[in-house]
Amino acid sequence: MSTTPKIGIAYTSGREHTTALAHAVRDGATDHGADVTVIRVDAITDDGWSALDNADAIVFGSPTYMGTASGAFHAFAESTSERWLRAVWRDKLGAGFTNAACKAGDKHSTLAYFTTLAAQHQMNWVNLGLHPGWHTSTESENDLNRLGYFNGAAATTPADLPADQVHKADIATAEFLGRRVAEHTSIVLAGRIALGL
Site residues for its own copies, 97-136, by CB under 8 A, read 100-109, 112-113, 115-120, 122-132, 134-136
Please state the closest distance from residue 143 (CB atom) to its own copies, in A: 10
Judged by phi (left if over 0) then psi (alpha if -120 to 50, else beta), residue 15 lies in alpha
| Residues 23/177, Cβ–Cβ less than 8 Å | no
Select from 9, 147, 172, 174 the one that contacts its own copies (CB under 8 A): 147
Total residues belonging to the chain: 197
Q: Is 91 in the site for its own copies (CB under 8 A)?
A: yes
Calculate the dihedral angle through the C-alpha atoms of 5, 28, 30, 194, rounding to the nearest 10 degrees.
-30
Piece in contact with its own copies (CB under 8 A), picked from 16-24, 38-46, 47-55, 158-166: 158-166
**Which positions from 3 through 22 interact with its own copies, judged by CB under 8 A?**
3
Q: Is 39 in the site for its own copies (CB under 8 A)?
A: no
Find all residues with CB under 8 Å of 136, minimum gap 6, and list them: none
Please state the closest distance from residue 181 (CB atom) to its own copies, in A: 10
